[in-house]
Structure 1
Amino acid sequence: MLRTIFSKKHYVFNDIPDLSGKVAIVTGANAGIGIVTARELARKNVHVFVACRSKEKGESAVELIKKETNNDSVEFLQLDLQSLNSVKNAAETFLARKLPLHILVNNAGMLTQTFGLTQDGIQDQFGVNHIGHFLFTLLLLPTIKASAPSRIVNVSSIAHKLTPPGGIEFDKLNDPNAHTAFQRYAQSKLANILFTIELNKRLSGTNVYCNSLHPGGINTELTTSVLSNWFFGLKPLVSIMSLLLLTPDDGALTQLYCATSPEIEEKNYRGKYFEPFGVLGKTSDFGNNEELAKKLWDYSENLVKEKLGDDVLSKCLA
């Protein structure tokens, strides 16, 4: 954590080039590093869609971004990652606009202390952090490919290194007693990396650059709430740990690097994992396991088809 805080910033807001004519979607862009990412893209003249569950919070974020950037091309897109039908509807709503899509930042995430299920009966952290983004990305993929050069950015976490021994225990994902809350989160964050690896293989021969990242420990309400629960009764320790966390502005730098830096194309970064602030990082051994990545893809594809029907991904995977 200390190394991250005091690391030299390889990429800063001023390094973002002018992106006039580009269109981006940022999930979970109503708060935290998501709203910072959307704001800085808008500042560089991107047409930005703020994709999140709450209409009230999303529209409030849109107005704030417009005010701070003087860019009126910022819109709210209803997206509830706890519902695959909502994900499908969000993709269809965007596609109906007939716009290109140059940047997709899968930023939204869920970290909770309790076990729960999504509306589709999927363990909630895995469903929101991976399955929802898996479906959203694939539904948008034909347009992303047609808009190339384009970027897909999957926000993971260093927490992916703390999974159970099998990496992702597919047969136990919906067992409320199989894993701790943090192990459930870790598996979902490993899934973000593995999805990136397998998707990148399937994008071979295209000018779509797909990468994942750890943004750093961010000082957000969610993070401090979780720390307070984990270290209940040790408020001074939580206060000290909070001081060591990155600001949302600094926390957004690595995903902005993946989404906007010319280096991504110049150095042909594909299927890579980055750490603050825009430098190549090292995953766990599971994070490099192509066999596990393929297994995750097949599991995710079959799960989506089970919930929404066999034809939902037919055009995307053609």
Structure 2
Amino acid sequence: MFGKKHFVFDDIPDLSGKVAIVTGGNTGIGFVTARELARKNAHVFVASRSKERGESAVELIKKEINKDAVEFLQLDLNSLNSIKHSAETFLARKLSLHILVNNAGIMATSFETTQDGIQDQFGVKLFTILLLPTIKASAPSRIVNVSSNGHTFVPSGGIEFDKLNDPNAHTSFQRYGQSKLANILFTHELNKRLSGTNVYCNCLHPGAINTELTRGMVDNWGFWIKPFLSVVGFFLLTPDDGALTNLYCATSPEIEEKNYRARYFIPFGKLEVPSDYGKDEELAKKLWDFSENLVKEKLGDDIFSKCYA
């Protein structure tokens, strides 16, 4: 489907002395990403909502690779207060942060809102911003935002900010598409704000992968779709292959050698061009301002006071 692999696990360099966080690292490509980073000697934090599943994933990684520098970090992306607490918990450790992989996501779920009243497929990248001073101080460092070719499944205009919380305004795939487009736009705007630093921020489509992500479709449309997904599963990438583009962006020396910034990659580490909306600088700035104002409304105007220094 994607041709010869440009990047494989053996291409990951030694990561001794590096610290990484992988959100959604308890399952699917997030689990594989965390495992392979740890295998190459990074100190890895598996960030996820479920303490039970997160700690179970940590123990499984330790067992598989026979290394101990893997930890669980509680992170509930459905709560801005939880995100803030998670970032503060990590920052209190006074560690560097060389790799942040924003991998966690949901797909085609029925309409729901977070604890803060935000449509749940529309992520706000508060976690990244709160960690930004440490990421910059740890440079050269990487921020990897997992998007999807599903970023094309959007209504006219790309993101309809005034309708995000309208349960009848968009289909489940349009909500998903807007969230994935937002990941690309966030990457572009963040990269502008990282100008002059050695922080390399990129985004990617990991491929169509046979993971738990399809559970949202089952919850939304019912169990009748399971046989269809089982058949489709034969044509999907394995989580191991699906994690390769994550790992390429997070570790490949090519990222720095070729000065890849705000680029969009597809399997397996190949450059691609996103949709026109994904290149819209005005839309990216509008998304940034919208998200920042939303967070300030919920957590106070001083939430970002130390983040952009």
TM-score of the superposed pair, with normalisation by structure 2: 0.97
1:19 to 15, 22, 26: 15
> Aligned pair 1:255/2:246, yes or no?
yes
Alignment partners' CA distance in 1, 2:296 and 2:209: 35
Contact 2:17/2:41 (<8 A) preserved: yes
1:235/1:118 Cα in 2 relative to 1: closer, same or farther (>3 Å)? closer
Partner residue, 1:185: 176
Which residue identity does 2:74 align to in structure 1?
Q
Partner residue, 2:53: 57
> Aligned pair 1:212/2:203, yes or no?
yes
Partner residue, 1:31: 27
Alignment partners' CA distance in 1, 2:223 and 2:46: 34
2:179 counterpart SS class: helix
Question: Which residues of 2 match residues 202-281 of structure 1 at below 5 A?
Answer: 202-223=193-214, 226=217, 237-281=228-272
> Aligned pair 1:301/2:297, yes or no?
no
Unaligned ranges ≥5, structure 1: none
1:166 counterpart SS class: coil
Shift of 1:112: 4.0
Shift of 1:207: 0.2
Partner residue, 2:88: 92
1:212 counterpart SS class: strand
Per-residue CA deviations over 1:37-70 (Å, capped at 9, x if unaligned) read 0000000000000000000000001101111112
1:74 to 60, 70, 73: 70
Unaligned ranges ≥5, structure 2: none
Alignment partners' CA distance in 1, 2:129 and 2:283: 19
Contact 1:228/1:235 (<8 A) preserved: no
Per-residue CA deviations over 1:76-116 (Å, capped at 9, x if unaligned) read 00000000000000000000000000000000001243111
Alignment partners' CA distance in 1, 2:294 and 2:203: 23
1:124 counterpart SS class: coil
Alignment partners' CA distance in 2, 1:77 and 1:255: 19
Alignment partners' CA distance in 1, 2:261 and 2:307: 20
> Aligned pair 1:103/2:118, yes or no?
no
Contact 1:30/1:61 (<8 A) preserved: yes
Contact 2:108/2:216 (<8 A) preserved: no
1:154 counterpart SS class: strand
Which residue identity does 2:208 align to in structure 1?
G
Question: Which residues of 2 match residues 107-186 of structure 1 at below 5 A?
Answer: 107-126=103-122, 130-131=123-124, 134-186=125-177
1:122 counterpart SS class: coil
Which residue identity does 1:21 align to in structure 2?
G
Which residue identity does 1:53 align to in structure 2?
R
Which residue identity does 2:112 align to in structure 1?
G
Per-residue CA deviations over 1:215-259 (Å, capped at 9, x if unaligned) read 001101332662796697576643331111000000000010000
Alignment partners' CA distance in 1, 2:28 and 2:63: 18
Alignment partners' CA distance in 2, 1:221 and 1:168: 26
Partner residue, 1:317: 308
Which residue identity does 1:149 align to in structure 2?
P
Query: Alpha carbon RMSD of aligned pairs, Å?
Result: 1.5
1:228/1:113 Cα in 2 relative to 1: closer, same or farther (>3 Å)? closer
Aligned pairs, number: 309
Contact 2:140/2:198 (<8 A) preserved: yes
Alignment partners' CA distance in 2, 1:176 and 1:254: 33
**Range 99-108 or range 224-233, more displaced:** 224-233
1:235/1:27 Cα in 2 relative to 1: closer, same or farther (>3 Å)? closer
